[in-house]
């Protein structure tokens, strides 16, 4: 019976490795990358996956071998118990610590590109998380956020391709997480903070915006779309939205001035 369980444990690394091997062929692997920094993020992810995967496989194979070799139902020799080895414990403490330190240093440049080297520019758009939607505010024709001609939208983010995009991220209520899977961007929106998020998209298309932080009963439906398009198409879309907002805006005498 002991060797049966050892085979069960052997199936864990076999099925685990097999799953990762066939996943790309069934379109259940990473989503398509369309960002400038996505390649370095994916390379870092794959490096860590290979490193931890190798440790996982070696550990599982050793577990299988010892369960198989020292099966109590097959062995006639009584078990011998020994006290812990101090030197061995030091080694298996130092090795993981050194590995984590190496990974921390190895990823510093990628982290800096995404989180520290902010482009010197005005915000392209303000994104505000709210249960359970993404509220967007574009600068109006004056090019400045926070002025009367700002453009307001919900869940419909448009950006030009091959240009630096700077998002001012906020939340109106609880903690949300602004996640653009195809752009390899994920940033928490923290109450009371304005957080810059930047990227450069390299391909046109429509992709998902999701919330990656459990934010309430409607978390599952907090989803928007980001459209990446040419500069000409983006400008035309903006003008169309400006005109539509001007047509539907209430007359000055009907504007709600409560709280002003």
CA-wise closest residue to 143 among 168, 125, 166, 120: 125
Report domain extents, the chain. 2-72+87-114, 125-248
pLDDT-derived band at 11 (thresholds 50, 70, 90) equals confident
Given this structure, which CATH class describes domain 125-248?
mainly beta
Looking only at the bridges linking them, the beta strands covering 205-211 and 176-180 are antiparallel
Task: Identify the pLDDT of residue 36.
Answer: 92
What sign has the CA pseudo-torsion 33, 39, 40, 45?
positive
> What is the mean pLDDT of the segment spanning 73-101?
82
pLDDT-derived band at 250 (thresholds 50, 70, 90) equals low
Give 64-101 as a DSSP string: HHHHHHT-TTT--SPP------HHHHHHHHHHHHHHHH
Task: Identify the pLDDT of residue 68.
Answer: 82
Which residues on adjacent β-strands are paired with residue 159? 228
Check whether the bond before 74 is cis (ω within 30° of 0): no
Is residue 169 within 8 A of residue 177, CB to CB? The reply is: no
pTM (two decimals)? 0.80
């Amino acid at each position: 019976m002991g060797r049966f369980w050892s085979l069960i444990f052997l199936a864990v690394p076999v099925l685990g490795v097999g799953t990762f091997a066939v996943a790309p062929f069934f379109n259940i692997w990473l989503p398509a990358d369309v960002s400038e920094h996505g390649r370095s993020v994916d390379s870092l992810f794959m490096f860590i996956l290979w490193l931890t995967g190798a440790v996982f496989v070696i550990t599982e194979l050793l577990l299988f071998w010892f369960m198989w070799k020292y099966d109590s139902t097959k062995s006639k020799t009584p078990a011998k118990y020994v006290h812990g080895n101090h030197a061995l414990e030091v080694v298996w403490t130092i090795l993981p610590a050194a590995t984590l330190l190496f990974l921390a240093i190895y990823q510093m440049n990628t982290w800096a590109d995404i989180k520290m080297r902010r482009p010197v520019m005005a915000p392209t758009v303000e994104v505000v998380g709210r249960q359970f939607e993404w509220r967007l505010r574009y600068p109006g024709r004056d090019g400045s956020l926070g002025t009367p001609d700002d453009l307001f939208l919900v869940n419909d983010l448009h950006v030009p391709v091959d240009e630096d995009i700077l998002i001012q991220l906020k939340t109106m209520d609880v903690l949300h997480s602004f996640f653009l899977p195809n752009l390899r961007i994920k940033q928490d929106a923290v109450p009371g903070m304005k957080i810059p998020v930047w990227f450069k998209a390299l391909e046109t298309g429509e992709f998902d915006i999701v919330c990656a932080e459990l934010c309430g009963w409607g978390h599952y439906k907090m989803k928007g779309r980001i459209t990446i398009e040419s500069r000409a198409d983006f400008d035309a879309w903006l003008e169309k939205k400006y005109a539509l907002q001007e047509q539907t805006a209430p007359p000055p005498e009907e504007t709600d001035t409560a709280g002003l």
